């Protein structure tokens, strides 16, 4: 029995490694987004600075893992086997949940996920214990709900407060520095940087190092009694130092950003380490207590009273965790993706947006415009002129590829640091993820980065991220409730099966993500080459290659989407149609990006190529959109029918269309290959396509006659006719696309 639970502890630590990988990938956005967004230094340099902060923060953490030990459940009422079931369920659920968010590129809170997983697992066993005790125990005795409620409250407080503070501070900072900040930086740079660095030091002391091994009771007492003196000395020293560096032609804002990156990384590792290794260490502590004091008792009769006490962690665990975090920071592809979501939503420049629109976002934009117009009417004209001069975006100084400037990056870090430090001093469990993300959104709003052309997309993105945070709490609670119940009743067999499933899912997710990212990077690399090209002679060959690739890939996508739609409709499979519908939604964004890239590249053509090639390109892109909308209408009508469990296609219709449907799929794939291979003579393809169209027409006539001859048409007949109509359109448009592409590719 002891060896079985020792294996369980080993599983906890193995899952903890995966959890650290997922957690670091998610929380890297907290400390990297401002530095990456402003291009303060090379990506590798930023990783090194963050890695140093992470390792120091992890190594100096005091290892007080009280949340995992007794923050949610009351361990004195739980037996050893029950505690192990809860802790295993928490780790298995957490690593999957964080990996899903990372794959989607959405930042979430590791603190919230762990707290609500503990709540869900505890609630599952608490119900079992209350029922089995015949009223001797109550839920209030077993569950500490105050912690969960405080986290929920902190979500609302931190989101609203961070956004408001970021907006206000950035507005006044931009009034002071303007977008062309060099002149004002000479005047105010030393004072501003000195104040910013003082705030960062305050953050490091009161958040990053407040529970570190060097922060003894004497040191804490000294700092608390001399806080203002320490901060005053720091202010004077840093202001003087920044003034000297300015005389040496050093951009002091870069120092502020790098210092802020280090501080947030240090605080992240020092305080959020509990989210990754707190649960395994609680399991390890429970196991050692059971071995030492069990005295032959069974796991289901040994109460875990020892977990009510705080425990200092062996430093070797902290050092190993710090090393793993550093390795993940340098090797995880998902780090960059999560960071890019935050940067894309706050970037200064316009461009292709990663999110769509939503009714709520549109209403918020409309309301904001009305409020802005009302304020503008009562604002004196001289004041408006002054503000507009200070916010002249044409003066912006942005390094190549930067999303925003160093002024905004500095404000992001300073405001986030102060808010987190303030929350810590007031004992409010503010989430680092929530604060840093919402401050960045607030500063981007104040900096006029959300223009009329982008605001609705940016707001939709912010709503999606915030919605994901609340989803985290609900999903974490429910999922861990289920997993805990399975582990409790399934025993060791369930533990092995679920562990194997989780490890498989994580590895499969990583391999799929890497494969997907490789394709994305290859495409982005070529798009970047196309857009950055400055040689007019190379513009047309590059644009032809881009167009050929896009049209070929689109034709292959059409074949796949059509195949899923056909399978789902004729085989009555809603899952296949749901996948097809999701692929249709994703393809819309891909087409928007492709058409934007081709439109920009078109402007780089030589003058004699502009009109003719531009006309062919626009025609080709329009045909692509026509095909896309036909696929969309086909998929949506079929999905609505099958998802509502309406009457399926009859055998005669299925038999009638089955062979023809396969020919359509084959035809689309052949067209994709023809485009890739630069086939100029498409007569054979046109003849084949027209033959398919004639056969579809014949089937349509028969179907309409069938409907006329029956007493009443069925819903399925109408969907079937829609499928035939759209299939005809897809084939006709594809033939036209082959023609236009051939003209565009010819010299």
Same domain assignment for residues 497 and 545 = no
Same domain assignment for residues 350 and 483 = yes
Domain closes at, from 492, 509, 526 = 509
Q: Are 346 and 29 in contact (CB under 8 A)?
A: no
pLDDT for position 63: 46
Q: Which of 738, 667, 716, 670 is CA-nearest to residue 696?
A: 667
Give dist(CA 481, CA 260) in Å, integer: 39
pLDDT of residue 129 exceeding 80: yes
**Is residue 518 in some structural domain?**
no
Give dist(CA 729, CA 689) in Å, integer: 11
Same domain assignment for residues 488 and 615 = no
Phi, psi of 596 (to 5 degrees): -65, -45
Give dist(CA 55, CA 326) in Å, integer: 7
**Is residue 681 in some structural domain?**
yes
Same domain assignment for residues 646 and 499 = no
What share of the chain in percent tops pLDDT 70?
A: 87
**Is residue 545 in some structural domain?**
yes
Same domain assignment for residues 490 and 570 = no
**Phi/psi zone of residue 451: left (φ > 0), alpha (ψ -120 to 50 degrees), beta?**
beta
- Degrees (nearest 5) of the Cα angle 514, 454, 381? 150
Same domain assignment for residues 505 and 541 = no
Same domain assignment for residues 202 and 80 = yes
Burial class from Cβ neighbours inside 10 Å (0-12, 13-18, 19+) for residue 547 reads buried
**Is residue 526 in some structural domain?**
no
Q: Are 430 and 424 in contact (CB under 8 A)?
A: yes
Same domain assignment for residues 363 and 427 = yes
Strands (DSSP E) found in 628-746: none
Provide the domain count of the chain.
Answer: 2
Domain that holds residue 427: 2-509
**Is residue 122 in some structural domain?**
yes
pLDDT for position 710: 63
What share of the chain in percent tops pLDDT 90?
A: 9
The pair of structure tokens assigned to 448 is 């006029």
Same domain assignment for residues 175 and 75 = yes
Same domain assignment for residues 466 and 544 = no
**Is residue 520 in some structural domain?**
no
> What DSSP letter does each residue of 329-358 carry, written as one string?
HHH-HHHHHHHHHHHHHH-SS----SS---
Same domain assignment for residues 108 and 178 = yes
> What DSSP letter does each residue of 30-80 carry, written as one string?
HHHHHHHHTT-S-HHHHHHHHHHHHHHHHHTB----HIIIIISB-GGGSBH
**Is residue 514 in some structural domain?**
no
Mean pLDDT lowest among 374-383, 415-424, 605-614: 605-614
Write out pLDDT tens, residues 298-356. 888 888 888 888 766 777 888 888 888 888 888 877 676 667 777 777 777 655 566 66
From residue 22, how far is each of 28, 91, 206, 325 by CA, in Å? 10, 12, 27, 10
Residue with the larger pLDDT of the pair 541 and 245: 245
Which residue is associated with the tokens 């995966």?
18
- Average of per-residue pLDDT values in the chain: 81
From residue 101, how far is each of 95, 97, 113, 518 by CA, in Å? 10, 7, 11, 19
Domain at 542, CATH number: 1.20.58.220
Same domain assignment for residues 376 and 464 = yes
Q: Which of 630, 624, 649, 623 is CA-nearest to residue 722?
A: 630
**Is residue 689 in some structural domain?**
yes
pLDDT for position 530: 57
């Amino acid at each position: 029995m002891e060896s079985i639970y020792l294996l369980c502890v080993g599983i906890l630590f193995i899952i903890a490694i995966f959890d650290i990988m997922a957690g670091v990938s998610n929380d890297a956005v907290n400390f990297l987004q401002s530095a990456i967004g402003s291009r303060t230094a090379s990506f590798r340099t930023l990783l090194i600075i963050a890695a140093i902060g992470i390792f120091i923060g992890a190594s100096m953490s005091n290892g007080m893992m009280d949340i995992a030990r007794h923050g949610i459940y009351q361990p004195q009422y739980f037996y050893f086997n029950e505690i192990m079931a809860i802790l295993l369920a928490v780790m298995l659920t957490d690593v999957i949940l964080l990996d899903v968010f990372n794959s989607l590129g959405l930042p979430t809170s590791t603190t919230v996920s762990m707290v609500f997983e503990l709540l869900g697992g505890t609630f599952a066993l608490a119900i079992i214990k209350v029922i089995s005790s015949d009223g001797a125990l109550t839920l209030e005795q077993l569950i500490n709900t105050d912690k969960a409620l405080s986290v929920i409250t902190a979500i609302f407080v931190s989101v609203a407060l961070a956004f408001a503070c970021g907006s206000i501070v950035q507005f006044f900072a931009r009034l002071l520095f303007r977008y062309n900040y060099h002149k004002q930086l000479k005047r105010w740079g030393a004072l501003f940087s000195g104040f910013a660095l003082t705030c960062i030091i305050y953050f490091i002391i009161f958040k990053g190092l407040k529970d570190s091994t060097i922060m003894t009771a004497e040191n804490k007492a000294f700092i608390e009694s001399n806080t203002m003196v320490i901060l005053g000395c720091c202010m004077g020293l840093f202001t003087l130092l920044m003034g000297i560096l300015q005389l040496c032609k050093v951009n002091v804002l870069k120092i502020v950003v790098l210092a802020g990156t280090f501080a947030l990384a240090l605080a992240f590792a020092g305080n959020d380490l509990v989210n990754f290794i707190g649960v395994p260490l609680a399991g390890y502590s429970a196991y050692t207590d059971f071995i030492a004091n069990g005295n032959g008792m069974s796991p289901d009769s040994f109460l875990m009273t020892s977990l009510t006490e705080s425990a200092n962690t062996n430093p070797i665990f902290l050092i190993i965790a710090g090393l793993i975090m550093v390795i993940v920071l340098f090797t995880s592809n998902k780090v960059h993706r999560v960071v890019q979501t935050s940067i894309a939503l706050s970037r200064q420049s316009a461009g292709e947006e990663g999110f769509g629109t939503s009714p709520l976002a549109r209403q918020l934009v409309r309301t904001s415009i009305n409020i802005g117009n009302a304020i503008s009417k009562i604002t004196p004209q001289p004041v408006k002129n002054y503000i507009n001069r200070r916010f002249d975006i044409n003066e912006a100084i942005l390094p190549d590829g930067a999303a925003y400037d160093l002024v905004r990056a500095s404000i992001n870090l300073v405001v986030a640091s102060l808010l987190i430090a303030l929350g810590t001093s007031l004992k409010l469990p503010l989430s680092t993820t929530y604060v840093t993300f919402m401050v960045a959104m607030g500063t981007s709003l104040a900096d006029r980065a959300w223009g009329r052309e982008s605001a609705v997309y940016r707001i939709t993105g912010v709503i999606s991220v915030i919605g994901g945070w609340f989803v985290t709490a609900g999903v974490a609670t429910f999922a861990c409730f289920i997993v805990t119940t399975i582990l409790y009743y399934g025993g060791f067999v369930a533990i092995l099966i679920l562990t194997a499933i989780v490890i498989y899912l994580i590895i499969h997710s990583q391999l799929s993500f890497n494969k997907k990212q490789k394709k994305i990077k290859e495409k982005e690399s070529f798009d970047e080459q196309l857009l950055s090209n400055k040689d007019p002679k190379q513009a047309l060959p590059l644009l032809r290659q881009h167009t050929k690739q896009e049209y070929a890939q689109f034709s292959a996508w059409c074949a796949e989407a059509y195949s899923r739609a056909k399978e789902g409709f004729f085989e009555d499979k809603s899952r296949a149609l749901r996948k097809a519908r999701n692929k249709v939604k994703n393809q819309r964004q891909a087409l928007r990006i492709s058409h934007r890239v081709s439109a920009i590249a078109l402007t780089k053509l030589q003058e004699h190529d502009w009109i003719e090639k531009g006309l062919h390109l626009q025609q080709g892109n329009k045909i692509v959109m026509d095909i896309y909308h036909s696929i969309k209408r086909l998929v949506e009508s079929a999905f609505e029918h099958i998802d509502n469990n309406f009457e399926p296609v009859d055998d005669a219709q299925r038999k009638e269309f089955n062979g023809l449907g396969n020919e359509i799929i084959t035809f689309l794939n052949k067209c994709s290959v023809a485009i890739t291979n630069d086939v100029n003579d498409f007569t054979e393809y046109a003849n084949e396509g027209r033959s398919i169209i004639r056969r579809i027409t014949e089937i349509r006539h028969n179907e309409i006659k069938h409907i006329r001859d029956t007493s009443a048409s069925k819903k399925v007949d109408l969907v079937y006719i829609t499928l035939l109509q759209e299939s005809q359109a897809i084939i006709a448009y594809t033939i036209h696309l082959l023609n236009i592409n051939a003209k565009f590719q010819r010299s």
